[in-house]
């Protein structure tokens, strides 16, 4: 069963629609740089995944297919036949699922700092156990340390603090259920089925989903996909906001 996602819908009503979905432990506030850069050219719909932010927290565990079902329900609710999708990390996984299972709902696909498969399940099992036992606040600092390069983080303490608060504010059960979706995700055999025009954006210093093998696997597996590497770590859309926004806009434009 799908849930009614919390969303923010802003920008010109007659502009092309760009839908933004973020990483595990984030909220739709992570996309503020893109709203500021692109809000005059696109109707931007940002979402909080189930279990995150102001969206409902149904019982877990979740699968990426569940999160994609929530998105399709929202598209129907808003009367949107097709959108340009941009997702980072978990949001990119949802985008890949939509691209292979509901391509008619997408005009383009931008996949940022994401993966089609995590071969080592142990870190995810450990993280789920930590959150279940101690809560998201206990992992917030360690998680966000991987979101930005140390030099950038030192110069932008306000973003670091906000992102730590995002993680710590994520419902414990919602985070654990969503982490299970990431742990179990394997879309490698479906990449070739994605026929939507696809751009893969990777952070050069992303330790969570490094270019090799994660971004490269997607770019090589999706027919006609293009790979762009930008400075930054896992939340490269914040760390390299200007360049990432340029790439997103160019790819999402009709």
Q: Is residue 2 part of a domain?
A: no
Q: Is residue 23 part of a domain?
A: yes
Tell me which residue has tokens 């140390």: 150
Q: What digits encode the pLDDT tens for the residues 23-58?
A: 999 999 999 999 999 999 999 999 999 999 999 999
Tell me which residue has tokens 């340390």: 145
Q: What is the mean pLDDT of the segment spanning 71-99?
A: 99
Tokens of 78: 């808003």
Q: Is residue 1 part of a domain?
A: no
Residue (of 178, 138, 195) closest to 25 by Cα position: 178
- Indicate the helix (H) or strand (E) that contains 177: helix 172-184
Helix (H, G, I), strand (E, B) or coil at 97: helix
Contacts of 146 (CB under 8 A, 6+ apart): 207, 208, 233, 234
Q: What is the CA radius of gyration of the chain?
A: 16
Domain of 121 in residue numbering reads as 7-252
Q: Rounded to two decimals, what is the model's pTM?
A: 0.98
Q: Is residue 92 part of a domain?
A: yes
Q: Is residue 47 part of a domain?
A: yes
How far from each other are the two terminal CA atoms of the chain, in whole angstroms? Answer: 32
Q: What digits encode the pLDDT tens for the residues 189-210?
A: 999 999 999 999 999 999 999 9
Q: What is the mean pLDDT of the segment spanning 97-113?
A: 99
Per DSSP, the chain holds a count of helices (H) and strands (E) of 11, 7
CATH of residue 85's domain is 3.40.50.1820
Q: Tally the domains of the chain.
A: 1
């Amino acid at each position: 069963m799908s849930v009614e996602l919390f969303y923010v819908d802003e920008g010109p009503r007659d502009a092309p629609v760009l839908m933004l979905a973020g990483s595990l432990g984030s909220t739709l506030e992570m996309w503020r740089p893109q709203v500021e850069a692109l809000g005059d050219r696109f109707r931007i719909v940002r979402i909080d995944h189930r279990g995150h932010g102001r969206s409902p927290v149904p019982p877990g565990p979740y699968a990426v297919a569940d999160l994609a079902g929530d998105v399709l329900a929202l598209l129907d609710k808003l009367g949107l036949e097709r959108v340009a999708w941009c997702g980072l990390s978990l949001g990119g996984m949802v985008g890949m699922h939509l691209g292979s299972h509901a391509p008619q709902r997408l005009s383009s696909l931008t996949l940022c700092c994401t993966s089609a498969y995590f071969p080592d399940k142990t870190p995810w099992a450990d993280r789920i156990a930590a959150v279940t036992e101690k809560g998201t606040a206990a992992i917030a600092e360690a998680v966000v340390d991987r979101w930005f390069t140390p030099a950038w983080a030192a110069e932008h303490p306000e973003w670091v603090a906000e992102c730590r608060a995002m993680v710590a504010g994520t419902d414990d059960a919602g985070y654990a259920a969503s982490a299970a979706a990431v742990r179990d995700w394997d879309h490698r055999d479906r990449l070739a089925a994605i026929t939507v025009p696809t751009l893969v954006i990777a952070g050069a210093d992303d330790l969570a989903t490094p270019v090799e093998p994660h971004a490269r696997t997607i770019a090589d597996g999706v027919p006609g996909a293009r790979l762009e590497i930008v400075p930054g770590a896992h939340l490269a859309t914040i760390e390299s906001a200007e360049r990432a926004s340029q790439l997103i806009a160019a790819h999402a434009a009709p």
